[in-house]
Amino acid sequence: MRLKIIFNIYTMISLNEKNYKLYYLDTCVLSEMVKDRSGFGSDLLNIVLEDGIIAVALNSIWELKSAPIVYRDVIDVISVLPTVILKNEEMIFEEEYKLFNDSTHSLSPIMACFSSTLFKNYGIDILKTFEEKVTDDKNEMVKKERNKTFEILGKMPSKIFSRGELKTISSVESSVELSAFILATNYIMSELQEYMKGEREFPIKNFPSLMSTSYALHYKYLQAERKGSVSDIEDILMSALYPYVDVVVTERNQCNIIRQIQKRHGYFEGLETLNMEQVKKHKNKR
């Protein structure tokens, strides 16, 4: 199975000669889905399964592990439904960098596919895989490495931009590219130094996950009504996956941020959003 990704053109996943949208459910949505199974959970799944497949980020699994009952309930639900597990932001960047160096590389944000007859040719035991991927030593090391990214993101707003300096669309876009480049140094500092020895400009726009993360960073912290907080950082990191899904299901504020970016910058073109309130209203429309 190969999921074809074209930057800024959102593609469906094709299985058994049918196309399905990837519905990226964030941690909050997953939690609410199992806490209110007969209400919100039922409404959500009715929407998703009309034309799509559930997409869960590895980051969400890490977050949910801190609430064992919710975690187990989420596993119980998605293990019997068409589900894909998405890589984290570091893994996605590694894929993009491979593609940058080798145009024949097949980039996929998907770590694994599970469950249901839809995935009979690809499926493996979801619970076993989750346990192995989340708790083994390698992934614990990955979690520690993510602290570096957290630190960079936390310092960035005061270091490289202020609300006063970013009043125009062009100034925001320039700052977004700079921030994305700084994020890249967290992963490939020596490679960047070598690349730029030839006085070449590094094509940061070729790395959608970094650009997406940078846009989310700016709009989380640039909104006049809020200053941003440490709790935003997980949302910002998870935005690295937006270029590789069809629909983002999240809280209303995050949906508004995506739409702002779409309207002002033409970024995330074709990406659909669905907030939790819309899920509840959808039931009344049927």
Is pLDDT at 15 greater than 70 in this prediction?
no
Considering the chain, what percentage of its residues have pLDDT values greater than 90?
A: 32
Of 28, 110, 108, which Cα lies nearest the Cα of 74?
A: 28
Which residue's entry shows tokens 């590389």? 105
Which pLDDT score, from 0 to 100, does residue 6 have? 37
The pTM of the full predicted model, rounded to 2 decimals, is 0.81
Per-residue DSSP letters for 101-136? H-TT-----EEEEE-TGGGTTT---HHHHHHHHHHS
> CB of 62 within 8 A of CB of 71?
no
| Position 85 confidence tier, pLDDT thresholds 50, 70, 90 | confident
pLDDT tens per residue across span 226-262: 565 656 777 888 899 999 999 999 999 899 999 999 9
**CA 204 – CA 23 distance, rounded (Å):** 27
Per-residue DSSP letters for 41-94? IHHHHHHHHHHEEEEEEHHHHHHHTTSHHHHHHHHHHHTTS-EEEEP-HHHHHH
**Rounded mean pLDDT, 191-215:** 87
pLDDT tens per residue across span 115-129: 544 434 433 444 555
Is pLDDT at 224 greater than 70 in this prediction?
no
- Residue spans per domain, the chain: 13-134+278-283, 138-244
> CB of 258 within 8 A of CB of 273?
yes
Residue scoring higher pLDDT (249 or 100): 249
| Position 133 confidence tier, pLDDT thresholds 50, 70, 90 | low
Is pLDDT at 140 greater than 60 in this prediction?
no
> CB of 243 within 8 A of CB of 208?
yes
Is pLDDT at 25 greater than 80 in this prediction?
yes
| Position 162 confidence tier, pLDDT thresholds 50, 70, 90 | low
